[in-house]
C-alpha cells in the first residue's frame, strides 16, 4: 500500500469527497446546524492553496459538504481560525434585524509570508461569505502569528470579545480584546510552558464545571504543537487554571514536557478546537485525525484527511484531587447493541462469535484480578492476518498498530502507551471506522487515536488474558455503519 492507494471514505468521521483537508476551522452552531469549516485545498490532495472548506450537520454524524466558503487568492491563503455569531451586531456587519456570523482567520500573505488576522462574514446563516473590506484587522508584523479563536467574555457589567492566538515559534499564547471584532488591543500572554519541542498552534480557551458542579468552574487552555508530541510528531496539550477576562493563570505552572497533560495519547489527534454557540455543558471538540509526520503521504481515501469523532468535554476530579479532562464520543444516546456478551471467564484466547462491522462502537469491561492484564486483537482483512492490539496491564494502556498499517511509512509501525488509574479492572469504549481506531479509557480521561490503514473492514476480535484467568464482565458491539455518513456535495 502506498500514497496512491484509494480506500473508501469513513462511515462516521467527516472527510471531504476529494482533495486535501487538515485543521478544523470556524466550528459554530447556529439555529440547530453544526457548521464545520476546515483547511482545504480545492485543487488537489497536497497541502497548498489553503482555503476554508465547509460542511454542515444537524447531529455531528451525518454531514453534507458544500462548496468552498472562503477561497484563497493570488495574494493570500486562508489559514486556521474561528467563527462566532455576533448576536448584538457589534461589528456592524449584519443586515437589519439579522446577526452576522463572523469568521476570524489568519491571512497568510503572498509573497511576504506575513501572518495577520482578517475577517469574513455571512448574513445568510453561513451559506455565503463576504471578505471584510478593510482586512487585516490585527497585524503584529510577524511570520508566525496565527490561529485565532474568539469567544465572548462577560464579567460583571463588562462584555467584550477575546481572541486567543499564538506566536507559534515563540511557544506563546497571545490574548487580545475587542468591542467590535475589528479593533483589537493586547491583554496578556501565556507561555512558553510544558511541552515546547515544536511550534505552538491552534489554541482554545473555555470554562468547564468539575463533575457538573456550577460552583466549581475552571478554565481549560488547549495548545497543539508540532513536533514534540508525546507519541511523536503532532499532539495537543492542555492547561487547567483560571481566566479573569485579562489573563490566564495555570493552576500548577508546568515546567517541562514531563509535566504536560495530553489531550490524546495517540498520534492522530491534532489541532482540536471546540464549537461556539453551544452551552458550556455541551462543549464539543473536533480535531484533525492525522499527524504532520506523515500526513502528506497517507493514502487517498479518496480524499487526504479526516476528522476525529466529535467529543463532548468535561472536567472530573480524581480521588487524589487532581483535575483531568474527560472526553466522550458524541454518538446517539440510544444505540441498540448488535451483539452483547457478559460474564465470560477467560483462560485462553476467546474469539468473539460475531463479525465486526466496518464501523462499530465496542464497549468492553474486563476484570483481571487473577491476571496481569489482557489483550484484545481486532483483526482486519479477509485473511485476518493484520490487526490492532489493545493491551491493558496494571496502570497502562497500549495500542499497537505495528501489524495493522502496512509499511508505507515507518511512523505507522508504532505502539502508543497511556496511563490508567485502575489496577484490576478497565472499561473501554472503542470507536472503529474505516482507517481509524479511537480508544476511550478511564471514563474518557485517557484517549488514544490512531490511523489504521489496512484492507477495508475488521473481520474478528480476539480477547486473551495475560498470565492468568480474566473475566469479561460485559461486551457489546454496536453497528455504526448506518448511523453516520458523508453526504454528497450540495
Domain's final residue, options 300, 329, 358: 329
**Whether 104 contacts 119, CB under 8 Å:** yes
| Separation between Cα atoms, residue 324 and residue 427, nearest integer Å | 17
**35 and 181 fall within a common domain:** yes
Looking at the structure, tell me whether residues 276 and 394 fall in a common domain. no
Please report whether residue 1 resides in a domain.
Answer: no
pLDDT value of position 455: 58
8 Å CB contact between 326 and 208: no
Of the three residues 294, 329, 364, the one that is the final residue of a domain is: 329
Q: Which CATH number characterizes residue 169's domain?
A: 2.115.10.20
pLDDT value of position 254: 75
User: Which of 297, 329, 361 lies at the terminal end of a domain, its last residue?
Assistant: 329
Same-domain status, 150 and 130: yes
Q: What confidence score (pLDDT) does residue 142 get?
A: 98
Same-domain status, 262 and 322: yes
Q: What's the pLDDT score for residue 6?
A: 59
Asked whether residue 173 falls in the same domain as residue 297, the answer is yes
Overall number of domains in the chain = 2
Q: Report the C-alpha dihedral over residues 262, 265, 270, 276, rounded to 10 degrees.
A: -60
Q: Is residue 127 part of a domain?
A: yes
Q: Which pLDDT score is estimated for 319?
A: 83
- Print the domain residue range for 435: 339-486
Q: Which of 2, 23, 59, 141 is catalytic?
A: 23
- According to DSSP, the residues that pair with 128 across neighbouring strands are none
Q: Are 216 and 357 contained in the same domain?
A: no
- Domain-embedded: residue 334: no
Whether 282 and 180 share a structural domain: yes
Residue 369 lies in a domain: yes
**Pairwise CA distance, residues 238 & 315, whole Å:** 12
In sequence order, the β-bridge partners of residue 20 are: 41, 304
> What was the pLDDT predicted at 429?
97
Q: How far is CA 386 from CA 331, 394, 455, in A?
A: 28, 26, 9
Assess whether 101 and 237 both reside in one domain: yes
23 is catalytic: yes
**Residue 2: its pLDDT value, please?**
52
Residue tagged 509535566 (cell numbers): 259
Contacts of 452 (CB under 8 A, 6+ apart): 380, 388, 401, 404, 405, 435, 436, 437
Sheet holding 458-466, edge to edge: 350-351, 458-466, 373-380, 386-393, 396-400, 415-419
Same domain, 57 and 198: yes
pLDDT digits (tens, 9 = 90+) for 264-281: 999 999 999 999 999 999
Assigned domain for 365 exists = yes
What is the domain-level CATH number for residue 403?
2.60.120.560
Tell whether 364 and 299 lie within a shared domain: no
Residue 15 domain-assigned (yes or no): no
CA distance 279 to 87: 15
pLDDT number for residue 477: 93
In order along its 490 residues, the chain shows pLDDT tens digits of: 455 555 788 999 999 999 999 999 999 999 999 999 999 999 999 999 999 999 999 999 999 999 999 999 999 999 999 999 999 999 999 988 889 999 999 999 999 999 999 999 999 999 999 999 999 999 999 999 999 999 999 988 899 999 999 999 999 999 999 999 999 999 999 999 999 999 999 999 999 999 999 999 999 999 999 999 999 999 999 999 999 999 999 998 776 777 899 999 999 999 999 999 999 999 999 999 999 999 998 888 789 999 999 999 999 998 888 999 999 999 988 788 888 999 999 999 999 988 888 899 999 999 999 999 999 998 765 444 568 999 999 999 999 998 876 556 788 889 999 999 988 899 999 999 988 999 999 999 999 999 987 655 567 899 999 999 999 999 999 999 888 766 444 4
Both 237 and 260 in one domain: the answer is yes
CA 450 – CA 314 distance, rounded (Å): 22
Domain contains 141: yes
Q: Which three cell numbers stand for residue 69?
A: 466558503
Tell whether 249 is covered by a domain.
yes
- Strands 33-41 and 115-122, bridge-based pairing: unpaired
pLDDT digits (tens, 9 = 90+) for 217-252: 999 999 999 999 999 999 999 999 999 999 999 998
Q: Is the peptide bond before 470 cis (omega within 30 degrees of 0)?
A: no
State the pLDDT at residue 285: 98
pLDDT reported for residue 95: 82
Q: Is residue 295 domain-shared with residue 186, that is, in the same domain?
A: yes
Amino acid at each position: 500500500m502506498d500514497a496512491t492507494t484509494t480506500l473508501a471514505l469513513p462511515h462516521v468521521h467527516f472527510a471531504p469527497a476529494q482533495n486535501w483537508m487538515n485543521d478544523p476551522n470556524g466550528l459554530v452552531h447556529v439555529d440547530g446546524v453544526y457548521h464545520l469549516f476546515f483547511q482545504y485545498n480545492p485543487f488537489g490532495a497536497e497541502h497548498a492553496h489553503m482555503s476554508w472548506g465547509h460542511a454542515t450537520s444537524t447531529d455531528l454524524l451525518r454531514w453534507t459538504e458544500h462548496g468552498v466558503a472562503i477561497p484563497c487568492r493570488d495574494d493570500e491563503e486562508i489559514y486556521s481560525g474561528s467563527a462566532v455569531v455576533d448576536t448584538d451586531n457589534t461589528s456592524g456587519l449584519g443586515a437589519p434585524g439579522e446577526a452576522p456570523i463572523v469568521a476570524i482567520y489568519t491571512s497568510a500573505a503572498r509573497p511576504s509570508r506575513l501572518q495577520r488576522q482578517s475577517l469574513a462574514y455571512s448574513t445568510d446563516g453561513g451559506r455565503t461569505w463576504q471578505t471584510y473590506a478593510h482586512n487585516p484587522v490585527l497585524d503584529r508584523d510577524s511570520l508566525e502569528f496565527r490561529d485565532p479563536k474568539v469567544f465572548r467574555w462577560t464579567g460583571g457589567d463588562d462584555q467584550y470579545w477575546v481572541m486567543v492566538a499564538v506566536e507559534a515559534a515563540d511557544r506563546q499564547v497571545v490574548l487580545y480584546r475587542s468591542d467590535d471584532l475589528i479593533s483589537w488591543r493586547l491583554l496578556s500572554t501565556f507561555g512558553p510552558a510544558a511541552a515546547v519541542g515544536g511550534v505552538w498552534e491552534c489554541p482554545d480557551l473555555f470554562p468547564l464545571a468539575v463533575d457538573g458542579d456550577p460552583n466549581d468552574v475552571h478554565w481549560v487552555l488547549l495548545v497543539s504543537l508540532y513536533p514534540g508530541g508525546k507519541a511523536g510528531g503532532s499532539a495537543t496539550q492542555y492547561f487547567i487554571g483560571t481566566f479573569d477576562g485579562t489573563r490566564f493563570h495555570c493552576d500548577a505552572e508546568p515546567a517541562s514536557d514531563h509535566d504536560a497533560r495530553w489531550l490524546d495519547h495517540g498520534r492522530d489527534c491534532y489541532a482540536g478546537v471546540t464549537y461556539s454557540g453551544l452551552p458550556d455543558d455541551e462543549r464539543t471538540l473536533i480535531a484533525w485525525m492525522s499527524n504532520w509526520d506523515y500526513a502528506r503521504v497517507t493514502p487517498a481515501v479518496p480524499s487526504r484527511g479526516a476528522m476525529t469523532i466529535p467529543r463532548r468535554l468535561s472536567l472530573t476530579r480524581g480521588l487524589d484531587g487532581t483535575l483531568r479532562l474527560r472526553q466522550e464520543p458524541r454518538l446517539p444516546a440510544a444505540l441498540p447493541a448488535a451483539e452483547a456478551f457478559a460474564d465470560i471467564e477467560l483462560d485462553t484466547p476467546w474469539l468473539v462469535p460475531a463479525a465486526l462491522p466496518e464501523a462499530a462502537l465496542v464497549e468492553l469491561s474486563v476484570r483481571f484480578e487473577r491476571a496481569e492484564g489482557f489483550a484484545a486483537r481486532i483483526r482486519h482483512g479477509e485473511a485476518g492476518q493484520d490487526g490492532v492490539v489493545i493491551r491493558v496491564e496494571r496502570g497502562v494502556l497500549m495500542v499497537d498498530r505495528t501489524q495493522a498499517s502496512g509499511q508505507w511509512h515507518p511512523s505507522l509501525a508504532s505502539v502508543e502507551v497511556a496511563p490508567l488509574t485502575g489496577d484490576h479492572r478497565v472499561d473501554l469504549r472503542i470507536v472503529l471506522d474505516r482507517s481509524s481506531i479511537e480508544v476511550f479509557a478511564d471514563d474518557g480521561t485517557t484517549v488514544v487515536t490512531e490511523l489504521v490503514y489496512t484492507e477495508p473492514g475488521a473481520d474478528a476480535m480476539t480477547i486473551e488474558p495475560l498470565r492468568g484467568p480474566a473475566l469479561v464482565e460485559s461486551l457489546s458491539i454496536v453497528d455504526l455503519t448506518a448511523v453516520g455518513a458523508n453526504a454528497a456535495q450540495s
